[in-house]
Structure 1
Amino acid sequence: MSQKDQAGLALTGASPKAAQAYCEALSLYHRMGGDPFTLLEQAITDSPGFVMAHVLKANLMLVGTNPETMMGGIAALETAKTLAGTDRERGHVAALASVAAGEIRDAGRILEDLSIEHPRDLQALQAGQLMDFLLGDSRMLRDRIARVLPHWSDAMPDYHAVLAMLAFGLEESGFYGRAEAAGRRALELQPLDAWAQHAVAHVMEMQDRRADGIAFMRRESTGWQQDSYFAVHNWWHLALFHLGLGETDEVLRLYDGPIYGEASTMDFDKLDAAALLWRLKLLGVDVGDRWRRLADVYEQGVLGMSAFTDAHAMMAFVGAGRADGVKAVLAAQDQALAAPGDNAGMVRDVGLPLIQAIAAFDAGAYAIAADRLRGVRNRSGRFGGSHAQRDLIDLTLIASARRGGDAGLEKALLAERANAKPLSIGDEALLARAA
């Protein structure tokens, strides 16, 4: 008798014991916490031909990690390619092969089709939304989830994850009230859901509800702090709330603690660290030796694979005064432009001009920095990330206009920002104070 997962989908090659371990790992994946790897290793040891166990392992390892972890994901994918499976399972393998080849759009389309045919396949949905995030596709972040909603209800296992993904998609589409409601409902169902926590934090960031955000992260909902492998990013959101209130000492305390107190080689962790230090740099805050330590870690990494992560590497090298690192990032972009995969377009459309702007800003060439940033900010979604992450572009543009003495541009930018964030209580005041 073939085994099935929580949604009743076939699990080719799994024994009952392996299927149980996999389902437990899958639930951990859906809330982004715990130790799914140990469970997956148990499943694979018991049933080496269990294709979806290898698929989930690869999904956990291929994106946002370090080169060593990525190689583990490639190994899991290569094993999965040799195993038997249903058409649905083979679709997962094909999507992973596209990810490994840098073809993020192709992977997203394969997963999109899987979700249309199998709307209860939550792994396809979650992996698909990650592709949308990497592409900065706010519409698909929302609509990929909306399509499957008629097939889900509160009574179904892991429904909280559907609501959490819906919340993030709604937030990135500007439906803040609905997004917050969906995220909070997800947390009622599963208080440990780190993605739901993250979605509500995004709402509060975009509305500049700094005090609300601090209360939410520190007192209202604290399950994400316990055992989430996504916790660094949520701590980063808490730091942004404190930064918006001018509480830079608390920001540095969080940086030195849960955000980057222990240097991480994971791409997503490094870019959070770089983005936070860059915001402090724009405010004129002395961060001591932190840039040097972050740049040391970036020097151990690989450049040219992601325009989004390379832009943050440039921040680290500029912040640390590493001329060789700056040259290496620029050289990597030249190579990336000629490489296969979606990253070439991301570099061309956004990454390279942004990286050049960061270097120009640091060199005091504020007019050049502003010109590059004005050219990319309205299309910056093309190289991935969220609105909150890409806000760094606008903040750097405002700082460039101010430091370059372009009062007209500065006033125009502040007026548009006040209109876009009517609940704002002080981003601009902080920048003015720094000036």
Structure 2
Amino acid sequence: MKDAFGLTYSGVTEAGFSSYARAVHELQCFIGDPVSSIDRAIGENPGFVMAHVFKGYLFGLATEREATAVAKACYEAALPLAATTREQAHVAALGHLAGGHWHQASRILEDVAIDHPLDAVALQTGHQVDFFTGNARMLRDRIGRALPAWQKGMPGYHAVLGMQAFGLEEMGDYGRAESFGRQAVEIEPRDGWAQHAVAHVMEMQSRQRDGIAWMRADPEAWTKESFLQIHNWWHLALFHYDLGETDEVLKLYDGPIYGDRSTLALNMVDASAILWRLALGGVDVGDRWAALAGNWSPKAAAGNYAFNDAHAMMAFVGAGLEAPAKTLLEAQREAMRGEDDNAVFTRDVGHPLTLAIKAFGEGKYDEAVRLIRPIRSIAHRFGGSHAQRDVIDLTLIEAALRAGDRALARALTAERQLARPDSPLSALFLRRAADLSEN
């Protein structure tokens, strides 16, 4: 059968496709339960190849070792099924993703979208792969190539605008990024990715008050049944953090960010990131580290995604847990012997950063500086956004200040002031560096 965009789907009936379309919409907004929806599609049509592929994408992009096993099973289920050339390319992309070869999956999905710019699943899956591999240019260009084929009124148009907004933001095109993001939210208020793209713009421009107003204007829209809501609450917390409003940050942490104590890595990354920022500023976060580290501990040996490893180490350091920290470093050493993309993520950025975080926690600030400085310019290689990777710069600045390295502290704080001239945190760093120079 053909969908509204003229794309052909194999092995599916109207009933099965209805559940598939629902799953696609849920993923485009980051709402509901796309896994249940796609399972219904598979139940209706076991031979529906794109339903198996879509489920595999959901799990393959989860950055959890257990989820990767599900993605591999979906790939095996899809492999023998009847499929068009486009669908066969999707199956191949899923196989690479499940095998940890993110860049190969990205390239196949890139070609699918070039040939079929209205393939929303190819666009969104590719966009997420670009995010997890830190490929800012493709975050923008993958969507930009397809955008002329899309028109207002088409199902999912808001998602294309939202993805374009995020890609533009990551490439520093803030004015157009905000415009695209706002248009997307106007069309579909529940589009959590578009909501977050605008928040990223305001974060990068140090527009804290605008950011708080943007996030607090209609939180019901971006939180209701949203599996991106914790990340978006984290963005709100960042605005308060930059303003020095630590009580509000802790309130958000204890409530929507980590009140439910999620065990999903994507959510624990946000929890670690906000507590680490507070700890860098000398804020006593009480026993919060212990609870978070307890949830990270079972994943210490995973070694499947370096970005997660660094955030797990933050929790282990914060809680003073030596055993899981040691397990994590051993898992990274094992990962670096692998042949998948995470071996490179870990070798280039993840391992030295994780060691630096551990050194910082042990008060070895000179060592933390030594480890972080060479990776700053290539940190995008292990994924995340500019806003997320900012924690690397924050750790480096704090390490230089605590090490008493006056020249480096002065240089780094001047650099940050130029990049974020309207940030109260930049001003605070400048004052602290100046105090070092005078003593």
Which range, TM-score by smaller chain?
Answer: over 0.9
The percent identity for this pair of structures is 53
* Structure 1 residues 104-134: Cα deviation after superposition (integer angstroms, max 9, x where no partner): 1000000000000110001001100111111
Q: Does 1:311 align with 2:310?
A: yes
Specify which of 39, 42, 61 is matched with residue 41 of structure 1.
Answer: 39
CA distance in 2, matches of 1:33, 1:431: 42
CA distance in 2, matches of 1:7, 1:259: 38
Contact in 1 for aligned 2:19/2:41 (Cα 8 Å): yes
Contact in 2 for aligned 1:31/1:193 (Cα 8 Å): yes
**1:91: how far off?**
0.9
Contact in 2 for aligned 1:282/1:431 (Cα 8 Å): no
CA RMSD of aligned residues (A): 1.7
Could you say if the C-alpha distance between residues 433 and 64 of structure 1 is closer, same or farther in structure 2, counting changes exceeding 3 Å?
farther
**1:220: how far off?**
5.2
Equivalence map 1:291-330=2 (5 Å):
291-301=289-299, 302-330=301-329
Partner of 1:362: 361
Equivalence map 1:286-435=2 (5 Å):
286-301=284-299, 302-429=301-428
**1:89: how far off?**
0.8
Equivalence map 1:36-435=2 (5 Å):
36-64=34-62, 66-219=64-217, 222-301=220-299, 302-429=301-428
* Structure 1 residues 261-283: Cα deviation after superposition (integer angstroms, max 9, x where no partner): 11222111111111111001101
**1:39: how far off?**
2.0
CA distance in 2, matches of 1:218, 1:425: 21
**1:430: how far off?**
6.8
CA distance in 2, matches of 1:270, 1:74: 24
Q: Counterpart amino acid of 1:391?
A: D
**1:67: how far off?**
3.9
Q: Counterpart amino acid of 1:342?
A: D
* Structure 1 residues 349-395: Cα deviation after superposition (integer angstroms, max 9, x where no partner): 11111111111111111111111111111111111110000000100
Q: Counterpart amino acid of 2:257?
A: I
SS at match of 1:4: coil
Structure 1: give runs of 5+ residues left out of the alignment: none
Equivalence map 1:25-36=2 (5 Å):
25-36=23-34
**1:213: how far off?**
0.6
SS at match of 2:424: coil
Contact in 1 for aligned 2:420/2:426 (Cα 8 Å): no
CA distance in 2, matches of 1:319, 1:431: 26
Structure 2: give runs of 5+ residues left out of the alignment: none
**1:155: how far off?**
2.4
Deviates more, 1:21-30 or 1:209-218: 21-30
CA distance in 2, matches of 1:109, 1:65: 19
Report the TM-score, using the length of structure 1 for normalisation: 0.96
Number of residue-to-residue matches in the alignment? 433
CA distance in 1, matches of 2:413, 2:402: 14
Could you say if the C-alpha distance between residues 241 and 39 of structure 1 is closer, same or farther in structure 2, counting changes exceeding 3 Å?
same
**1:38: how far off?**
2.4
CA distance in 2, matches of 1:166, 1:300: 36
**1:432: how far off?**
6.0
Q: Counterpart amino acid of 2:304?
A: M
Contact in 1 for aligned 2:134/2:381 (Cα 8 Å): yes
CA distance in 1, matches of 2:87, 2:95: 13
**1:251: how far off?**
1.0
Q: Counterpart amino acid of 2:98?
A: A
